[in-house]
Structure 1
Amino acid sequence: MHLRLPSVLFVYMNKQRYSLLTLACLAIANLSFAQKAQNAPVTLPGFTAYAVPEENGVDISGRNGVVKWTDSTNAVNFYFHTSHPGSLKLALQAKSDAPAKIRVTLNGVEKIISIPNGTDYTSIPVLQTKLKDTGFYTISLKGLEKQGAVYADVKSVTLEGSATKDIQFNPKSWRRSASVHLGYTVPDDKKVEWFYGEITVPEGQDKLGTYFMSCGFHRGYFGMQVNGPQERRIIFSVWDSGKEPDSRDKVKYEDQVTLTAKGDSVVASGFGGEGTGGHSHWVYNWKAGETYRFLMHAVPFGTNTQYTAYFYVPEHKEWKLIASFRAPKDGKYMGHLYSFLENFSFENGYLHRKGYFGNHWVKTNTGEWIELTKARFTNDATAKAKDRLDFGGGSENGMFYLWTAGFIPANAKLGDIFERPALGKHPEIDLPKF
């Protein structure tokens, strides 16, 4: 027996079928769009590259990317991190003043490509590869042949494929690695008059452009730097009052830190550019592998505080005065105690550096010694923005440690608490008599 559906029901069912079909098509279209959006091509600007082993015979310009590449000694490297294995296609946006050849390497795949001469950048397909693992990868460019002055000007690198999903790279011309810090825990009811700490930099980790800071507090910081191939410094600085970011000329005299004393051969001056204040440094050839001792002293009087820094010179077996500054609008003992590791060189921001920070103690205004065995890990805006993912810290060998750069996975996150074993014996300090 054949049943005929009522016409109204037939129309209703057709509408429902049409509606389901439409929804299915829209869902497929949205999924396709989402996949394409997730795997959209990404561009690594030329100004994020590094010249390895040094920026010599090539310039990395914040405006134009890789330029003036005349020397084949150095490679030009780009770095990125992928969270999803998959396929990847690589292209360069480049030009040259005459025909040239360069070698491009990624994930073990090498291609030699020709750079055409011209005044406009050309998109040049380079290679395809499949990334089997998540993690950091390096795109390395090496100059091979050139008929003109340069191998190539490289505006950018383009990556396309499934491996670009959630890809991470530094999109900014700020090529320093992340700064990392240790915030020490001190009982709230204690007034810190003295702050003592030690630093050991492992051999090979004393990279140019690194600041290992031992004794930081709410108004200043005290540590040691690698300033040049032949120059290292012991650095002590104290900030002015107020919030002027750049020019000390704009700071009122009554808000300025005043130098009251400095040690022999110590250079002292004002500074600006990252806040303003009083700066002092002593050129001293400290060595990797040795342990160095730092001591801060605070004496409040009225609304001022006198901050004095001493450095123990192992060759002389005595403490050396670095400098003493009077800080206005303060009148407190030291607070917010911390150490940090900073890379202040743009050119070698790819190089791994590590330092050990240990045996930190404070002595209160009542003469009580307190050992600092707990520290909170923090980092800077570069890390918070996820421009760099290669940083960390922890506790080992009885000391805290901090590290940054090297394009290796982080082993600490903001807010982590580190602890080291207590040594139980406060430092014996015999300061020089003035």
Structure 2
Amino acid sequence: MKKLMATMVAAGFAIASYAQTSTILLPGFTAYAEPDEQNVTISQQKGVIGWKSNKATVTFYFCTPAAGDLKLAVLAKAASDSRISVSLAEQSKEVSIPNSKDYTTTPVMDVKIPQPGFYRISLKGLNKKGAQYPDIKGVELSGELARNIQYNPKPWRRAASVHLGYTIPENKNAEWFYGEIKVPAGEDKLDTYFMSCGFHRGYFGMQVNSPTERRIIFSVWDAGGEPEERSKVKYEDQVVLLAKGDSVYASGFGNEGTGGHSHWIYNWKADQTYRFLMHSVPAGNTTTYTAYFYVPEHKEWKMIASFRAPKDGKYMGHLYSFLENFGFENGQWERKGYFGNHWIKTDKGEWIELTRAKFTNDATAKAKDRIDYGGGSENGWFYLWNGGFKPANAQYGDVFERPAGGVPPTIDLPKF
């Protein structure tokens, strides 16, 4: 009997020990290629494929709440033998990936994680017999520590979007909405939207669209709630373009709601303050929204576009700013922007400074797929940041305040 109990106890310990061990797979479709996605493809269906050059390093990111030990393995297949280097927490190991038609698990190393926080796994190609390095379905992490690791399980590789919602006094109509943006040097990453003046029907700000192109962008949503195709929106629900500035491109848009879009290609620069101004004119059940951008080189305001929005008839409400990473390939990089000196001018001619802002974020943050984001107030500005795989410094619903400047903007609009 004692022997049976001892056997059962031993088995119980074995079961308990096994229960504390966990294995997770960081999916290949959540990987990034650094410095950029060339000579390799990150496929939403297949993970890392077409890895042809060792100039591209394949990286994965995760966050652990504690220190501890992990076993690291790579789930991969290769058309011909190849060799790669795998690094994590300042520990590296070279491994050979054999020729295989199916994905197989290749153990890499045991790793000591020295402290809680974010970590980067990097895969570097060393040599290959064929045209490319192995396809990577994912990276396996196992051990007790793996149980509580946070990582992005979805192919949505963008950083979380973050917003500032401005508090407006009750019974005040915002006919005009003014704001400024300054982007620190190095934070103006590709595929970033720094949005200054958002309202219940649209948004107005500036983007980094390619290594050689930047834009001032202004959009207004249609009525009706169609999520994708503007061709399905009834004519009476469509935003109408009334005017646009010189060299401004204007069209309809879809796939994120539908509406009227306009942009002006302009090479804005980091570390410089840019000024944005929105105007709203209700008439019956429509409202005309006009966006102006101050061009510092010309020392004058430029009209971007003017749209008439149906089924509205209100002044601007729900005023906000946001920071968005709209590309999938570089969501690992940190972005930061300063948003400040926001004012409204009421329909009675009263200037009101907006010095309080509520911090919110998007579905990616709410699902905890990405937890690297934040915001606050410093040096007289509000700021927002996302990406970079570092700890958040703000939570949904936090309220920020900045000191009042007390001096309304001086605005001398040209006559149109």
Q: TM-score range by the shorter chain?
A: over 0.9
Q: Map residues 48-59 of structure 1 onto 2, 5 A cutoff.
A: 48-59=30-41
Greater mean deviation of Cα atoms: 26-35 or 81-90: 26-35
Q: Does 1:225 align with 2:225?
A: no
The alpha carbon displacement at 1:162 in A equals 1.9
The alpha carbon displacement at 1:39 in A equals 3.5
Query: Structure 1 residues 197, 131: CA separation in 2 closer, same or farther (over 3 Å shift)?
Result: same
Q: Does 1:390 align with 2:376?
A: no
User: Is the CA contact (8 Å cut-off) linking 1:49 and 1:76 kept in structure 2?
Assistant: yes
Q: Map residues 28-427 of structure 1 onto 2, 5 A cutoff.
A: 36-37=18-19, 39-427=21-409
Q: In the aligned structure 1, how far is the partner of 2:181 from the partner of 2:242?
A: 27
The alpha carbon displacement at 1:243 in A equals 1.2
Q: What are the superposed Cα offsets for residues 130-151 of structure 1, whole Å, 9 maximum, x if unpaired?
A: 1120000111000000010111
TM-score normalised by structure 2 residue count: 0.97
Query: Structure 1 residues 174, 376: CA separation in 2 closer, same or farther (over 3 Å shift)?
Result: same
Query: Structure 1 residues 118, 32: CA separation in 2 closer, same or farther (over 3 Å shift)?
Result: closer
Q: In the aligned structure 1, how far is the partner of 2:9 from the partner of 2:394?
A: 40
User: Is the CA contact (8 Å cut-off) linking 2:36 and 2:329 kept in structure 1?
Assistant: yes
**Letter of the 1:422 counterpart:** A
Runs of 4+ in 1 over 2 A off after TM superposition: 24-39
Q: What secondary structure, in the 3-state scheme, does the structure 1 residue paired with 2:243 have?
A: strand
The alpha carbon displacement at 1:74 in A equals 1.5
Q: What secondary structure, in the 3-state scheme, does the structure 2 residue paired with 1:187 have?
A: coil
User: Is the CA contact (8 Å cut-off) linking 1:313 and 1:320 kept in structure 2?
Assistant: yes
Q: How many residues align?
A: 413
Q: In the aligned structure 2, how far is the partner of 1:294 from the partner of 1:26?
A: 73
Q: In the aligned structure 2, how far is the partner of 1:296 from the partner of 1:402?
A: 21
Query: Structure 1 residues 294, 129: CA separation in 2 closer, same or farther (over 3 Å shift)?
Result: same
The alpha carbon displacement at 1:335 in A equals 0.3
Q: What are the superposed Cα offsets for residues 19-60 of structure 1, whole Å, 9 maximum, x if unpaired?
A: xxx9x9999988976764553101111000000110001000
TM-score normalised by structure 1 residue count: 0.93
Q: What are the superposed Cα offsets for residues 8-28 of structure 1, whole Å, 9 maximum, x if unpaired?
A: xxxxxxxxxxxxxx9x99999
User: Is the CA contact (8 Å cut-off) linking 1:309 and 1:324 kept in structure 2?
Assistant: yes
Q: In the aligned structure 2, how far is the partner of 1:25 from the partner of 1:94?
A: 40
User: Is the CA contact (8 Å cut-off) linking 2:23 and 2:147 kept in structure 1?
Assistant: no
**Letter of the 1:201 counterpart:** V
Q: What are the superposed Cα offsets for residues 281-340 of structure 1, whole Å, 9 maximum, x if unpaired?
A: 000000001000000000000000000000000000000000000000000000000000
The alpha carbon displacement at 1:165 in A equals 2.6
Query: Structure 1 residues 301, 158: CA separation in 2 closer, same or farther (over 3 Å shift)?
Result: same
What percentage of residue pairs aligned between the two structures are identical?
68
Where structure 1 has 5 or more consecutive residues not aligned to the other structure, the ranges are 1-21
**Letter of the 2:289 counterpart:** Y
Q: In the aligned structure 1, how far is the partner of 2:21 from the partner of 2:183?
A: 42
User: Is the CA contact (8 Å cut-off) linking 2:24 and 2:141 kept in structure 1?
Assistant: yes
The alpha carbon displacement at 1:196 in A equals 0.1
**Letter of the 1:346 counterpart:** F
Query: Structure 1 residues 188, 91: CA separation in 2 closer, same or farther (over 3 Å shift)?
Result: same
Q: In the aligned structure 2, how far is the partner of 1:412 from the partner of 1:358?
A: 18
Q: What are the superposed Cα offsets for residues 382-428 of structure 1, whole Å, 9 maximum, x if unpaired?
A: 00000001000000010000000000110000000000000000001
Greater mean deviation of Cα atoms: 172-181 or 35-44: 35-44
Greater mean deviation of Cα atoms: 30-39 or 225-234: 30-39
Query: Structure 1 residues 112, 402: CA separation in 2 closer, same or farther (over 3 Å shift)?
Result: same
Q: What are the superposed Cα offsets for residues 213-266 of structure 1, whole Å, 9 maximum, x if unpaired?
A: 000000000000000010000000000001110000000000000000000000
The alpha carbon displacement at 1:84 in A equals 2.1
Query: Structure 1 residues 44, 239: CA separation in 2 closer, same or farther (over 3 Å shift)?
Result: same
Partner residue of 1:6? Answer: none
Q: In the aligned structure 2, how far is the partner of 1:121 from the partner of 1:227?
A: 37
Partner residue of 1:12? Answer: none
Q: In the aligned structure 2, how far is the partner of 1:408 from the partner of 1:44?
A: 18
**Letter of the 1:210 counterpart:** T
Q: In the aligned structure 2, how far is the partner of 1:80 from the partner of 1:111?
A: 19
**Letter of the 2:65 counterpart:** S
Where structure 2 has 5 or more consecutive residues not aligned to the other structure, the ranges are none
